[in-house]
Amino acid sequence: MQPPFPCPTATWRNDTYASISPSRKELSVAGKTVIVIGGGSGIGRETALTFATAGAAHVALLGRTDTTLNETSELIKSSGKTSCSTHVADLTKSASLESAAAAVGQWHVLVLTSGYCSTPSAVPSADGEDWWKGFETNVQGTFQVARAFLPSAHPSEAAFLGVVSDVSLIPAAYLVGLSSYVASKLAQAKVFEFLAAENPTVFVATLNPGMIETDNFRRTGGKAEGLPMDTVQLPAHFLLWMASPEAAFLRGRCAWANWDVEELIAIKDQILAGLALTAGLKELPKTS
């Protein structure tokens, strides 16, 4: 379909395709330990299943709800190829994350899919506790996960990936009521950029997952029937591709799951030449 947003690739994807398929041998994660935070549902669950399909030796699932984590675990174990563990943890509680990190041990891929969207409201009338929960989950949560898990990353083969929402291209006037979600997700993306700069032995990048009908999507007030929705397999499979050497040029950057990866690879030198796909002001007004 025609890209609905500014797009570096001519092709805009709404569903998975061969280049990011977990059946591609180039994307195999055989023998690797994968951690999925938020693995109990939605994008997190599909991501966990994707890495298991791609041959992960072990998938560790983190989330706040034991029931949904166990549901994902059973789906993974039914394949008979990948072991799975579940760890109930709160992103804002360092003790629970540190306990999970100790239990999992050394890891190769960590995907942070958890996030929170507060109830849409103008800033003056927003519920303060709910509004701030977006920052506690999306920003403080990223901080706590990094502190707990980076020390046990594989010394040369680790990938730390985050699901964000690259809203920097969209004017606030089109997102009225979503100040908590938009601002916290933009801040989260910047934290990941710092993690990339500060940890040169770890591949760090983020992904805008597209339009997926998750709990957060429903909290925004969005209506699936009126939007160009994407399949949940699209971001899950894109994340698998991001963990591969093919995506090395995206280190410290944010990609959209809708972008065609072969076309992205074709322009990697152009991307690496500047600040493309990073958060913040890219162009300033020029004086005469």
By annotation, the residues acting in catalysis are 165, 181, 185
The sheet carrying 109-112 orders its strands as 83-88, 58-63, 33-37, 109-112, 158-163, 202-208, 254-256
